[in-house]
Chains A and B, each alone.
Chain A
Amino acid sequence: MTQDRSLSERGTSPAKRAAATPSALAVRAAGVSKVFATKTGDVPALSEVDLEVAAGEFVALIGPSGCGKSTLLRLIADLDQATTGTLEIFGKPAKRARADQDYGIAFQQAGLLPWRTVGANMSLPLELHGTGKAERVARVAELAELVGLTDFIDRYPDQLSGGMQQRVAIARALAARPKLLLMDEPFGALDEMTRERLQTELTRIAAETAAAVVFVTHSIPEAVFLSDRVVVMSPRPGRITDVIDIGLGEHRDEALRESPEFFDRVTAVREALHGSPVTRAGES
């Protein structure tokens, strides 16, 4: 079992590490801090965060409430601005990356516009950027097939279950073929069975589209199952305390969930979160 606790370890597989030239990095954060000014004083949400995500890499951000993982994601998405530090998406500043639509984002709430059909929701980013109608229709058909909702294109969000709505949200995030997917606990509001099913689908989609993914979660098994690397964060102030290589390979399937290697990695992440070794049942 390889546990990598050194903060200076970047990249995953040697191949990816070799290809990690600055502009091929999906995300490069250096010394990023975020301070919120509230009525009762300043709240430091993030402090001196350094992170690199290579192209095509799946990185999970995990940590307890208040550790800044969602804040970091919002900074990458240019939904908020960093107080200090530099943040580059594919070599560009976050603002330009957003304008160029280099990423797609999915939130914990599906956030579908209730007055638009499933198809219209999926094509929203395309509509905003002047894609022609024929092209939009074709792309929606592709996306619907990708997430398995071909028969529901003309339905309305209120006719869909939570899991299906979330799939529409993921399809929408992929509409403009981004090379980076940002996801903020997208399966948090779903039941466990749906969650596991969607996790399997997400790894398949990420592999098929070769997109980099930054995935915020507070579920340890989810983080381990999905990602190439797990970034462990802790609060007060929000910072990265550990980066753990998962190294379970590109292909993730249901059988993996029961394998000893999987449990080892889960333990590694758990220990990193607790900050100390964890006794397993049956051990003295």
Chain B
Amino acid sequence: MRAVGWSARRQGEVRGWIAAGWGALGVLAVLVLWELYKFIGPAEGVVVFAVQGQAGSGVMILPRTHDRAMPHVWDMVARLFAPTSGGDTPPLWVSVAGAALVTLGIAAIGWLIGVMVGAALGLVMQRWQLLEWGLLPWIVVSQIVPLIAFAPVVNAIGNQIDRGGGTWPQWLSVAVIASYLAFFPVAIGMLRGLASPDRIHLDLMRSYAAGYWPTLLRLRLPAAVPHLLPALRLAAANAVLGAVVAEVSIGMRGGIGRMLIQLAGQASSDPAAPWGPTFGSIALGLIAAGSVALIGLGLANYRRGEAA
């Protein structure tokens, strides 16, 4: 199918719509699979390696299909418009949206902190190789440490500061934990990006007697853009994840993490309800990553020569 005469821009747009179409088809396929399995699957799920007479033995590899365990897709949607906890409370989607916004805000702050710390680390590691050798392994290891561990500690430190005269609201602890997950991709991306220019470009700058700072501003930073943009996107997704998990471990009210746990606890009586905050979390991740992707639009010129 040769688009003779179409401008490259128009073709790019068309390709974008086609990709979105395929994506929508994919989502639809998932929904259809869900309902199909509900229709044909056994009510108690598929269990393998079960031992006769021993209740609860074996491994369930396909879930139970009755409505309490797997609500219908339309039930999930309908539940979104029903009141949150009965009576006069606002519809579920309103509560979810509110909680999601709270979490989004905290995640955004966590992202900002993480980006600043990560960028600073990347700059410093590129400048002095000794620091790269000394710090980089620990930065990598830091992501293996379950951040769950730090949540109570950060919270406790925060309380200490709060009581000692400063202000440290609880959400700030969540933001700090979110930043812990967000700084890593930015640090690595910045380091890689700053180290990416060709030998000949570096020689050129040296021939102009350009010192560290002019080289940084005019060569290394622009060269780092294609590495930083995906890193910032990943950092945004990580910040959301960190915020949600931190909310749960600190027990912060108002965020979507706590709502997830709360409604999950009531799942036996209200099976479709936990899907509300679940969809909310999914939307949250997509919005966070999408907003950061917008940053990339303005930097299009720096991305010329980027491999597909």
Cα distance A166–B220 when bound, in Å? 37
Residues of B close to A41: CB separation below 8 A:
4
Cα distance A37–B2 when bound, in Å? 9
> Interface on B for A, CB 8 Å cutoff?
2-4, 8, 11
A41 closest partner in B (C-beta)? B4
Residues of A close to B4: CB separation below 8 A:
41
Cα distance A39–B2 when bound, in Å? 7
Cα distance A41–B2 when bound, in Å? 9
> Interface on A for B, CB 8 Å cutoff?
37, 39, 41
Which of B2, B3, B8, B11 has the largest count of A CB atoms less than 10 A from its CB? B2
Chain B nearest CB, measured from A40 CB (Å):
9
Chain B nearest CB, measured from A42 CB (Å):
10
Chain B nearest CB, measured from A20 CB (Å):
42
Q: Can you list 6 A-B pairs with a CB-CB distance of less than 8 A?
A: A37-B2, A39-B2, A39-B3, A39-B8, A39-B11, A41-B4
Cα distance A37–B3 when bound, in Å? 11
Residues of B close to A39: CB separation below 8 A:
2-3, 8, 11
Cα distance A39–B12 when bound, in Å? 13
Chain B nearest CB, measured from A38 CB (Å):
9
Chain A nearest CB, measured from B102 CB (Å):
48
B3 closest partner in A (C-beta)? A39
Cα distance A195–B2 when bound, in Å? 43
Residues of B close to A37: CB separation below 8 A:
2
Across the A-B interface, the 4 shortest Cβ-Cβ residue pairs = A37-B2, A41-B4, A39-B2, A39-B3
A38 closest partner in B (C-beta)? B2
Cα distance A197–B11 when bound, in Å? 51
B2 closest partner in A (C-beta)? A37
Cα distance A124–B4 when bound, in Å? 42
Residues of A close to B8: CB separation below 8 A:
39
Chain A nearest CB, measured from B10 CB (Å):
12
B6 closest partner in A (C-beta)? A39
Cα distance A41–B3 when bound, in Å? 10
Chain B nearest CB, measured from A54 CB (Å):
41
Cα distance A39–B9 when bound, in Å? 13
Cα distance A37–B1 when bound, in Å? 11
Chain A nearest CB, measured from B138 CB (Å):
33
Cα distance A39–B4 when bound, in Å? 7
Cα distance A119–B36 when bound, in Å? 55
B8 closest partner in A (C-beta)? A39
Cα distance A37–B11 when bound, in Å? 17
Residues of A close to B2: CB separation below 8 A:
37, 39
B4 closest partner in A (C-beta)? A41
Cα distance A1–B110 when bound, in Å? 82
Chain B nearest CB, measured from A99 CB (Å):
31
A37 closest partner in B (C-beta)? B2
Residues of A close to B3: CB separation below 8 A:
39
Chain A nearest CB, measured from B145 CB (Å):
36
Chain B nearest CB, measured from A36 CB (Å):
12
Chain A nearest CB, measured from B1 CB (Å):
11
Cα distance A41–B6 when bound, in Å? 11
Cα distance A37–B4 when bound, in Å? 11
Cα distance A200–B18 when bound, in Å? 56
Cα distance A41–B4 when bound, in Å? 7
